[in-house]
Protein backbone atom coordinates (compact mmCIF):
# COMPACT_ATOMS: atom_id res chain seq x y z
CA UNK A 1 0.00 0.00 0.00
CA UNK A 2 1.50 3.34 -0.95
CA UNK A 3 0.65 6.71 0.54
CA UNK A 4 -1.95 7.57 -2.13
CA UNK A 5 -4.06 4.49 -1.47
CA UNK A 6 -3.67 4.67 2.30
CA UNK A 7 -6.90 4.75 4.26
CA UNK A 8 -7.90 7.74 6.33
CA UNK A 9 -8.25 11.47 6.20
CA UNK A 10 -6.15 14.35 4.88
CA UNK A 11 -6.64 17.87 6.30
CA UNK A 12 -7.28 20.95 4.15
CA UNK A 13 -3.59 21.73 4.52
CA UNK A 14 -2.77 18.35 3.00
CA UNK A 15 -1.63 16.75 6.26
CA UNK A 16 -2.50 13.07 6.62
CA UNK A 17 -4.15 11.79 9.82
CA UNK A 18 -2.95 8.33 10.86
CA UNK A 19 -4.49 5.70 13.12
CA UNK A 20 -3.30 3.51 15.98
CA UNK A 21 -1.88 0.73 13.79
CA UNK A 22 0.11 3.37 11.90
CA UNK A 23 1.67 4.56 15.19
CA UNK A 24 2.91 1.00 15.73
CA UNK A 25 4.48 0.95 12.25
CA UNK A 26 6.26 4.25 12.85
CA UNK A 27 7.46 3.11 16.28
CA UNK A 28 9.16 0.09 14.69
CA UNK A 29 10.88 2.13 11.98
CA UNK A 30 11.86 4.81 14.47
CA UNK A 31 13.31 2.28 16.88
CA UNK A 32 15.60 0.83 14.22
CA UNK A 33 16.83 4.28 13.19
CA UNK A 34 17.48 5.14 16.84
CA UNK A 35 19.21 1.81 17.46
CA UNK A 36 21.56 2.50 14.55
CA UNK A 37 22.39 5.94 15.95
CA UNK A 38 23.04 4.33 19.35
CA UNK A 39 25.61 2.03 17.72
CA UNK A 40 27.50 5.03 16.34
CA UNK A 41 28.45 6.35 19.76
CA UNK A 42 31.40 3.96 20.11
CA UNK A 43 32.48 4.31 16.46
CA UNK A 44 32.88 8.08 16.35
CA UNK A 45 36.47 8.91 17.28
CA UNK A 46 39.48 10.83 15.99
CA UNK A 47 41.17 9.03 13.08
CA UNK A 48 38.04 7.45 11.66
CA UNK A 49 36.33 8.71 8.50
CA UNK A 50 32.73 9.63 7.85
CA UNK A 51 32.60 7.09 5.00
CA UNK A 52 33.62 4.36 7.47
CA UNK A 53 30.75 5.44 9.73
CA UNK A 54 28.39 5.40 6.74
CA UNK A 55 29.55 1.90 5.77
CA UNK A 56 28.72 0.68 9.29
CA UNK A 57 25.26 2.24 8.96
CA UNK A 58 24.65 0.61 5.57
CA UNK A 59 25.55 -2.77 7.07
CA UNK A 60 23.21 -2.30 10.04
CA UNK A 61 20.33 -1.25 7.76
CA UNK A 62 20.87 -4.33 5.59
CA UNK A 63 21.38 -6.72 8.52
CA UNK A 64 18.05 -5.55 9.95
CA UNK A 65 16.34 -6.42 6.66
CA UNK A 66 15.45 -2.77 6.26
CA UNK A 67 15.98 -0.27 3.43
CA UNK A 68 17.78 3.06 3.48
CA UNK A 69 15.49 5.93 2.47
CA UNK A 70 18.38 8.11 1.38
CA UNK A 71 20.21 5.77 -1.04
CA UNK A 72 18.79 6.72 -4.44
CA UNK A 73 16.84 9.69 -3.03
CA UNK A 74 17.23 12.49 -5.61
CA UNK A 75 20.51 10.87 -6.64
CA UNK A 76 21.95 10.73 -3.10
CA UNK A 77 24.14 7.62 -2.73
CA UNK A 78 24.66 7.08 1.01
CA UNK A 79 22.75 5.61 3.95
CA UNK A 80 23.43 8.69 6.09
CA UNK A 81 24.19 12.37 6.00
CA UNK A 82 27.18 13.22 8.18
CA UNK A 83 27.67 16.94 8.79
CA UNK A 84 30.95 17.96 10.47
CA UNK A 85 31.58 21.27 12.30
CA UNK A 86 30.36 24.16 10.09
CA UNK A 87 28.36 21.80 7.84
CA UNK A 88 24.71 22.51 8.66
CA UNK A 89 23.15 19.41 7.06
CA UNK A 90 23.32 16.97 4.11
CA UNK A 91 27.06 16.39 4.55
CA UNK A 92 28.22 13.59 2.23
CA UNK A 93 30.25 10.80 3.90
CA UNK A 94 33.84 10.91 2.66
CA UNK A 95 37.48 9.99 3.29
CA UNK A 96 38.46 12.93 5.50
CA UNK A 97 39.79 11.89 8.92
CA UNK A 98 37.93 13.11 11.98
CA UNK A 99 40.15 14.99 14.40
CA UNK A 100 39.96 15.56 18.14
CA UNK A 101 37.19 18.03 18.97
CA UNK A 102 35.24 17.67 15.71
CA UNK A 103 31.46 17.70 16.22
CA UNK A 104 29.22 15.88 13.79
CA UNK A 105 25.57 15.23 13.08
CA UNK A 106 24.63 11.77 11.83
CA UNK A 107 21.21 11.64 10.14
CA UNK A 108 19.69 8.26 9.27
CA UNK A 109 16.36 7.42 7.64
CA UNK A 110 15.24 3.79 7.35
CA UNK A 111 12.16 2.18 5.85
CA UNK A 112 10.62 -0.70 7.85
CA UNK A 113 7.45 -2.36 6.47
CA UNK A 114 6.93 0.79 4.39
CA UNK A 115 7.21 3.21 7.33
CA UNK A 116 9.93 5.90 7.46
CA UNK A 117 12.01 6.50 10.60
CA UNK A 118 14.07 9.70 10.36
CA UNK A 119 16.37 10.86 13.17
CA UNK A 120 19.68 12.59 13.78
CA UNK A 121 21.96 13.37 16.69
CA UNK A 122 25.23 15.09 17.46
CA UNK A 123 28.46 13.22 18.23
CA UNK A 124 31.91 14.39 19.28
CA UNK A 125 35.23 12.92 18.14
CA UNK A 126 37.34 13.00 21.28
CA UNK A 127 36.65 15.98 23.51
CA UNK A 128 34.58 19.03 22.48
CA UNK A 129 35.59 22.55 23.39
CA UNK A 130 33.24 24.44 25.69
CA UNK A 131 31.56 26.46 22.92
CA UNK A 132 30.84 23.34 20.89
CA UNK A 133 29.49 21.58 23.94
CA UNK A 134 27.19 24.51 24.68
CA UNK A 135 25.97 24.59 21.07
CA UNK A 136 25.12 20.89 21.21
CA UNK A 137 23.30 21.27 24.53
CA UNK A 138 21.25 24.27 23.36
CA UNK A 139 20.31 22.53 20.09
CA UNK A 140 19.25 19.38 21.93
CA UNK A 141 17.19 21.32 24.43
CA UNK A 142 15.67 23.47 21.65
CA UNK A 143 14.34 20.32 19.96
CA UNK A 144 12.66 19.34 23.23
CA UNK A 145 11.22 22.86 23.67
CA UNK A 146 9.59 22.26 20.28
CA UNK A 147 8.43 18.76 21.23
CA UNK A 148 6.86 20.09 24.44
CA UNK A 149 4.71 22.43 22.32
CA UNK A 150 3.20 19.47 20.45
CA UNK A 151 -0.40 18.69 21.41
CA UNK A 152 -3.77 18.88 19.65
CA UNK A 153 -4.99 22.49 19.42
CA UNK A 154 -1.54 24.06 19.38
CA UNK A 155 -0.15 25.20 16.02
CA UNK A 156 3.02 24.61 14.04
CA UNK A 157 3.87 28.26 14.75
CA UNK A 158 3.86 27.41 18.47
CA UNK A 159 6.52 24.76 17.82
CA UNK A 160 8.71 27.10 15.77
CA UNK A 161 8.31 29.91 18.26
CA UNK A 162 9.32 27.72 21.21
CA UNK A 163 12.50 26.65 19.39
CA UNK A 164 13.42 30.13 18.16
CA UNK A 165 12.84 31.77 21.54
CA UNK A 166 15.03 29.22 23.31
CA UNK A 167 17.87 29.39 20.77
CA UNK A 168 17.94 33.18 20.47
CA UNK A 169 17.70 33.45 24.27
CA UNK A 170 21.07 31.69 24.28
CA UNK A 171 22.48 34.13 21.68
CA UNK A 172 22.61 31.50 18.94
CA UNK A 173 20.70 31.46 15.64
CA UNK A 174 18.10 29.18 14.02
CA UNK A 175 18.70 28.13 10.41
CA UNK A 176 15.78 29.21 8.17
CA UNK A 177 16.81 27.47 4.94
CA UNK A 178 15.84 23.92 6.02
CA UNK A 179 12.86 22.62 7.95
CA UNK A 180 11.18 19.53 9.37
CA UNK A 181 8.53 17.69 7.39
CA UNK A 182 5.58 15.39 7.49
CA UNK A 183 6.45 11.72 6.99
CA UNK A 184 4.85 8.30 7.28
CA UNK A 185 4.75 5.99 4.27
CA UNK A 186 6.62 8.75 2.43
CA UNK A 187 9.88 10.48 3.30
CA UNK A 188 8.78 14.09 2.89
CA UNK A 189 5.13 15.22 3.03
CA UNK A 190 3.27 18.36 4.13
CA UNK A 191 3.63 20.33 6.29
CA UNK A 192 6.95 22.16 6.32
CA UNK A 193 7.83 22.28 10.01
CA UNK A 194 9.61 25.61 10.55
CA UNK A 195 11.96 26.01 13.51
CA UNK A 196 11.02 29.67 13.97
CA UNK A 197 7.71 31.50 13.96
CA UNK A 198 4.95 33.25 15.82
CA UNK A 199 2.63 31.65 18.38
CA UNK A 200 -0.83 30.77 17.08
CA UNK A 201 0.18 30.84 13.39
CA UNK A 202 0.27 27.94 10.95
CA UNK A 203 -1.83 24.79 10.78
CA UNK A 204 -3.47 23.46 13.93
CA UNK A 205 -2.02 20.21 15.29
CA UNK A 206 -4.36 17.23 15.31
CA UNK A 207 -4.07 13.79 16.87
CA UNK A 208 -2.65 11.39 14.28
CA UNK A 209 -0.30 13.79 12.48
CA UNK A 210 3.26 12.46 11.91
CA UNK A 211 6.20 14.81 11.31
CA UNK A 212 9.82 15.52 12.17
CA UNK A 213 11.23 18.37 14.20
CA UNK A 214 14.90 18.89 13.33
CA UNK A 215 16.27 22.30 14.31
CA UNK A 216 19.65 23.40 13.00
CA UNK A 217 21.38 25.93 15.25
CA UNK A 218 24.44 28.05 14.44
CA UNK A 219 26.87 29.72 16.85
CA UNK A 220 27.07 32.64 14.40
CA UNK A 221 24.65 33.91 11.78
CA UNK A 222 21.79 31.79 10.39
CA UNK A 223 22.62 32.06 6.67
CA UNK A 224 23.70 28.93 4.80
CA UNK A 225 24.96 28.08 1.34
CA UNK A 226 25.05 24.80 -0.59
CA UNK A 227 28.44 23.70 -1.95
CA UNK A 228 29.15 22.72 -5.59
CA UNK A 229 28.34 19.06 -4.83
CA UNK A 230 24.68 20.27 -4.65
CA UNK A 231 24.16 18.68 -1.20
CA UNK A 232 26.52 19.96 1.50
CA UNK A 233 24.98 22.95 3.29
CA UNK A 234 27.42 25.07 5.32
CA UNK A 235 27.19 28.20 7.44
CA UNK A 236 28.11 31.25 5.35
CA UNK A 237 30.16 32.70 8.21
CA UNK A 238 31.89 29.30 8.83
CA UNK A 239 30.53 29.18 12.39
CA UNK A 240 29.81 25.82 14.04
CA UNK A 241 26.37 24.29 13.48
CA UNK A 242 24.45 21.54 15.28
CA UNK A 243 21.20 19.62 14.73
CA UNK A 244 18.99 17.02 16.44
CA UNK A 245 15.99 15.34 14.80
CA UNK A 246 13.10 13.21 16.05
CA UNK A 247 10.15 11.69 14.19
CA UNK A 248 6.98 12.12 16.26
CA UNK A 249 3.24 11.48 16.19
CA UNK A 250 0.62 13.72 17.79
CA UNK A 251 -1.39 11.89 20.50
CA UNK A 252 -4.56 12.91 22.37
CA UNK A 253 -2.59 14.83 24.99
CA UNK A 254 0.88 15.41 23.55
CA UNK A 255 3.08 13.33 21.30
CA UNK A 256 4.84 10.00 20.92
CA UNK A 257 8.52 10.21 19.98
CA UNK A 258 9.14 7.35 17.54
CA UNK A 259 12.93 7.73 17.45
CA UNK A 260 13.83 7.75 21.16
CA UNK A 261 17.06 5.86 21.94
CA UNK A 262 16.28 2.32 23.15
CA UNK A 263 19.42 2.60 25.31
CA UNK A 264 19.07 6.14 26.64
CA UNK A 265 21.88 7.41 24.39
CA UNK A 266 20.13 10.28 22.62
CA UNK A 267 22.44 12.95 23.99
CA UNK A 268 26.21 12.80 23.40
CA UNK A 269 27.41 14.46 26.57
CA UNK A 270 25.43 12.53 29.17
CA-to-CA distance for 70 and 113, rounded, in angstroms?
A: 16
Q: Is 80 in the site for Co ion (CB under 5 A)?
A: no
Q: Is 118 in the site for ligand MF3 (CB under 6 A)?
A: yes
CA-to-CA distance for 39 and 34, rounded, in angstroms?
A: 9
168 marked as binding residue: no
Residues 220-249: x where in contact with ligand MF3 by CB under 6 A, - otherwise, as a string: -----------x-------------x----
Q: Which is nearer to Co ion, 239 or 247 (CB)?
A: 247
Q: Of the candidates 36, 61, 81, 106, which one interacts with ligand MF3 according to CB under 6 A?
A: 81
Q: Of the candidates 31, 54, 102, 107, which one interacts with ligand MF3 according to CB under 6 A?
A: 107
Q: Is 54 in the site for Co ion (CB under 5 A)?
A: no
214 marked as binding residue: yes
Phi then psi for 147, rounded to 5 degrees? -60, -35
Strands 189-193 and 173-174: unpaired
Bridge partners of 83, per DSSP, are 105
Which of Co ion, ligand MF3, none has residue 76 at its interface (CB below 5 to 8 Å by kind)? ligand MF3
Cβ burial, residue 7 (10 Å; 0-12/13-18/19+): exposed
Which of ligand MF3, Co ion, none has residue 54 at its interface (CB below 5 to 8 Å by kind)? none
143 to each of 4, 58, 128, 183, 245, how far by Cα in Å?
A: 30, 26, 20, 17, 7
CA-to-CA distance for 67 and 75, rounded, in angstroms?
A: 16
245 marked as binding residue: yes
Site residues (vs ligand MF3, CB under 6 A): 70, 73-74, 76, 81, 90, 107, 109, 118, 212, 214, 231, 245
Amino acid sequence: MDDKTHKGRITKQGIRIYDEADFAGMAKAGELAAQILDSMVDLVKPGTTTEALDAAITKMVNDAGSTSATIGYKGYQHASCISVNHVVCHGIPGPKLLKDGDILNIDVTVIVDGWFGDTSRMYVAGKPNRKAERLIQVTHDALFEGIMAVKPGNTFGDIGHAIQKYVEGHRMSVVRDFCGHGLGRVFHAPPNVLHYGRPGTGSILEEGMFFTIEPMVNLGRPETKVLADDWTAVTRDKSLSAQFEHSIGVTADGCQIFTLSPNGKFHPTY
